[in-house]
Amino acid sequence: YNISDLATKKSYLDVAYLLLVGKLPNEKERAEFDIELRKRSFVHEGLKRLFDAFPDKAHPMAMMSSAVSALSTFYFEHLNVTTKEEAQVMARRIIAKIPTLAAFTHRRMFGIPYIYPDIERPFTENFLYMMRAYPGENLEIRDVEVKALDTIFTLHADHEQNASTSTVRAVASTGAHPYASLSAGINALWGRAHGGANESVIAQLEYIGSVDNVDEFIARAKDPSDEFKLMGFGHRVYKNFDPRAKILKNLLDQLKDELGVNNDLLKIAEKIEQIALEDEYFIQRKLYPNIDFYSGLILTALKIPKSMFTIIFVIGRSVGWVTQWIELNNDHEMKIARPRQRYIGEVKKGL
């Protein structure tokens, strides 16, 4: 399928079902999948005590990694998955519970009461509800906000053998259970060169500070003697415009119109974007805005704090990781990951 079609015409749950089952769901299958995830979104009460034990300034990714690993102590029947049916139950349980754990990390960090899932709300809206609501509040969330975040989840669902996915597979190749494998993937994603890239984009825009300073920083980015690099441009895989970035660019424009988003960060980003798309320096080097450039701006428009950006990545990527785990677990010819190491040190040294 074309990623643009999936992102604009289907939901994240459709894409999750596609990865898990191998086909897009029909209306009945989608409704059943949706209801199943809603019912599985609640977590064991013991996990609240785990979150309470974390310092209030703990990083969300540290809490998330620990919580996903701790799922294995509450749902230990999935420590040894042997059948396709068991794999599906395990996968759906993980996908359903990760947004709840993610919202708990946010609320623990800010010292506000945990909010349980609302079974009347669909997947993405439910996450925003658990992030934003006060106890007892019947919070309304706008459709454009749900669509924006749902699209970000879809665009992050799976993406080749990146560092975190390869980590999940490497750990899985040892025979490790899915919770351990996904926890390892979360830790790999934590790195600023991987999942933290969109957080770095926003931090850099804040550092630039004003539209009036953009030209200076563009000049620095083009100066080979200056170590400054523009964040959110270029991609190791895409040598032309990242197709995912185009989708998010359109969504960002829609958010601006419907939510009235027009802050200083957005103005700085728009000027950088305009220069980069017209300047021969960037065009010749194929340095186009990537998914991180726009996703950070969209998450900021949704009032999601920077510290939660990589957690959002975890939610979207969870289905990709778990299906990669299932694929490897089903391949009985797959051996343990064991990269070779080439020695380049001194040789023939005597004692």
**What does the pLDDT read at residue 238?**
53
Decide if pLDDT at 241 tops 80. no
Annotated catalytic residue: which of 150, 156, 235, 242? 235
**What does the pLDDT read at residue 95?**
98
Decide if pLDDT at 240 tops 80. no
Q: Which two tokens stand for residue 263?
A: 């802050």
Task: List, for residues 263-315, the tens digit of each pLDDT value.
Answer: 888 899 999 999 988 999 998 888 888 888 899 999 999 999 999 999 999 99
CA distance 316 to 152: 7
The residues spanned by each domain of the chain are: 11-191+305-330, 197-301
Q: Which fold has domain 197-301?
A: Cytochrome p450-Terp; domain 2 (1.10.230)
Higher pLDDT among residues 328 and 77, named by residue: 328
Q: Which of 40, 53, 154 is nearest to 97 (CA)?
A: 40
CA distance 200 to 296: 9
Annotated catalytic residue: which of 150, 158, 242, 292? 292
Decide if pLDDT at 144 tops 80. yes
**What does the pLDDT read at residue 276?**
87
Decide if pLDDT at 237 tops 70. no
**What does the pLDDT read at residue 143?**
94
- State which of 1-5, 32-36, 221-225 shows the largest mean pLDDT: 32-36
**What does the pLDDT read at residue 290?**
87
Q: Which fold has domain 11-191+305-330?
A: Citrate Synthase; domain 1 (1.10.580)
Q: How many CB atoms within 10 Å of residue 221?
A: 20
Task: List, for residues 197-212, the tens digit of each pLDDT value.
Answer: 888 899 999 999 999 9
**What does the pLDDT read at residue 70?**
97
Tell me which DSSP letter residue 323 carries: H
Q: How many CB atoms within 10 Å of residue 344?
A: 6
**What does the pLDDT read at residue 288?**
87
Decide if pLDDT at 18 tops 90. yes
**What does the pLDDT read at residue 236?**
61
Residues 28-35 have a mean pLDDT of 98
CA distance 249 to 266: 12
Residues 244-262 have a mean pLDDT of 85
Catalytic residue check, 177: no
Please, which residues have CB within 8 angstroms of residue 74's CB and are 6 or more apart in sequence? 43, 44, 46, 47
Catalytic residue check, 292: yes
pTM: 0.92
CA distance 249 to 264: 17
Q: Which two tokens stand for residue 158?
A: 């799976």
Q: Would 11-191+305-330 and 197-301 be classified into the same CATH topology?
A: no
Q: What is the mean pLDDT of the chain?
A: 92
Q: How many CB atoms within 10 Å of residue 241?
A: 15
- With vertex at residue 313, the alpha carbon angle to CA 304 and CA 127, rounded to the nearest 5 degrees, is 55
Task: List, for residues 79-132, the tens digit of each pLDDT value.
Answer: 888 899 999 999 999 999 999 999 999 999 999 999 999 999 999 999 999 999
291-301 and 143-155 helices, crossing angle to 10°: 150
- State which of 89-93, 248-252, 253-257, 294-298 shows the largest mean pLDDT: 89-93
